[in-house]
Structure 1
């Protein structure tokens, strides 16, 4: 059938298919980073023979994202408050899983808190104060891309706080998190774990990729030298803040695709949810007024059609 022979309904269906394909192209674009990593691994002889197939990965990711949409609707309908902390070394894959979680969700329901270094004023406040400001209201999910555990990690290792402040943090954080849970907040904590060799490989990839070099800060470079210091700090943190009310979960993250699927699956298992009944949506007929005439738009206002 020629394009001009299609019925209006068939033309609408075809337009919808094109829009869906465009939306899925966004997901494939996100995976280009993984393809570059895989090529770098192949050149270095470190390719993983048991890598997850792209077909299985995308099928499972889209299925889980569909479940996340249902979870989002449930959280909104039942007025739940959900906080998820993502911690791990630089380049461990925290940002990647956060992107896949939020990709198809409503940003008014599920938002990301990625706080910069504290200002001079914030340094004089109660340590948890600037994080409290980002906690969710009813019907919201907040994903912390790094969290108050900065004090037990980068701040401690880099000397941005004293050992007395670290000890006070360890005394305070269990009770702080118990308070959050008692208030009704669902609190989930994930540590993304990678090996020394894997981090070095990912850093090398960022150095070689001009689109990713901005991710490699002087602090990241210094963290490579202090790998063992970070390891000791991480072990201390997990041992002293793994509490029944808010336990840590470790995500094996050397394989990024498996890490994303495993983490999203685990999040979905932690919050019982069901389908929210909604009335069917029907588009009303468009109103038309005989006295309305659309005005012309000057040609110089249009963006040049270069593509």
Structure 2
């Protein structure tokens, strides 16, 4: 393969990468015909599509450098994503992990606790998911379920919530003392923006799976969640692991701002790599490739 051919291949790969992001953007903008009224009220991003893609790809390249640095230095990183339902946590997590090695950077999104887990120390089910050296773990919701949904929905009584508030600062200090870097993000959106996003999910069959009974109930209990959030900030915003609020009404801004802030929080450096040389393929003149049965192949309908 010539240098010109290699360049063409690289350009094609970048085009595929852009297509991946465009696919997700199209998904974000699908609007059912009977929801045309939402498109008029929907928040329009102040960032142009070209600027957004340019900055996103630039920062994703920096995230790859960060990943290499974490592996090289044996750092342990935990990033907590909390906030209102439909505030954009999942979208940011997708963009952070999109080009990273899942063996290095993984997402933890735990289901509701089992009966056995309910009888354990509250933090116990989160501990096995903490990172080893050279790993990044993103918690898509975390132990803060107790001061949020569990408190608001009545799954935890006031004594349990108070015990959580007393324990969580020391729990997080223990994590930091063990060598873990803990970064906590809260995604914030307005009442109207959440209503519009929920309506989108109700009427979009590709997104209805995102709506759980808890999500629907959260609309009713907006003010209760607000009070729970305020208590959480007041009682758990510690110097070792402060909260950072991401304004989420503009999805593109939120993604870029969050990733930019994350990169600024870690003193990563570019790790030197040995030059990669592609070895020559070995050929055996006596080998004859077998013809496989037609039924083994996926039909080429496209």
TM-score bin, normalised by smaller chain: over 0.9
Give deviations 1:16-44, integer Å, cap 9, x for gaps: 3323312221111111133236x968745
Q: How many residues align?
A: 301
Matched, 1:148 2:156: no
Confirm or deny that 1:22 pairs with 2:7.
no
Change (3 A) 1:269 1:16: closer
Structure 1 residue 14: Cα displacement: 2.9
Q: How does 1:163-242 map to 2 (within 5 A)?
A: 163-242=158-237
Partner of 1:249: 244
Structure 1 SS opposite 2:260? helix
87, 93, 103: which one aligns with 1:108: 103
1:4 paired residue number: none
Aligned mates of 1:247, 1:9 — CA distance in 2 = 49
**Unaligned 5+ residue runs, structure 1?**
1-6
Q: Tell me which of 279, 295, 302 is aligned to 1:300.
A: 295
- Cα-to-partner distance string for 1:186-227 (whole Å, 9 max, x where unaligned): 000000000000000000111121100111111111110000
What residue in structure 1 maps to residue 261 of structure 2? 266
Aligned counterparts of 1:42 and 1:48: Cα–Cα separation in 2: 12
Give the distance between the partners of 2:52 and 2:13, measured in 1 at CA: 22
What residue is the counterpart of 1:33 in the other structure?
A: 27
Change (3 A) 1:257 1:290: same
Counterpart among 47, 51, 55 of residue 46 in structure 2: 51
Residues 41 and 47 in structure 1, CA contact (< 8 A), matched pair in contact too: no
CA distance in 1, matches of 2:94, 2:37: 26
Match for residue 67 of structure 1 among 47, 62, 70: 62
Give the 3-state SS of the residue equivalent to 1:250 in structure 2.
strand
C-alpha distance in structure 2 between counterparts of 1:78 and 1:18, whole Å? 33
Q: Which moved more, 1:237-246 or 1:50-59?
A: 50-59
In structure 2, distance between residues paired with 1:172 and 1:36: 43
For residue 142 of structure 1, report the CA deviation from its aligned partner. 0.1
TM-score normalised by length of structure 1? 0.94
Partner of 1:94: 89
Moved more, 16-25 or 80-89: 16-25
Aligned counterparts of 2:114 and 2:90: Cα–Cα separation in 1 = 23
Q: Report if the CA contact (8 A) 1:194-1:253 is conserved.
A: yes
- Flag the 1:224–1:194 CA change in 2: closer, same or farther, 3 A: same
Consecutive unaligned residues in structure 2, runs of 5 or more: none
- Give a deviation string over 1:62-96, Cα, whole Å, max 9, x none: 11101101000000000000000000011000000
TM score, norm. by length of structure 2? 0.95
Is the deviation greater in 291-300 or in 141-150?
Answer: 291-300
Distance 1:297 1:60, change over 3 A: same
SS at match of 2:87: coil
- The two structures, once aligned, show a CA RMSD in angstroms of 1.8
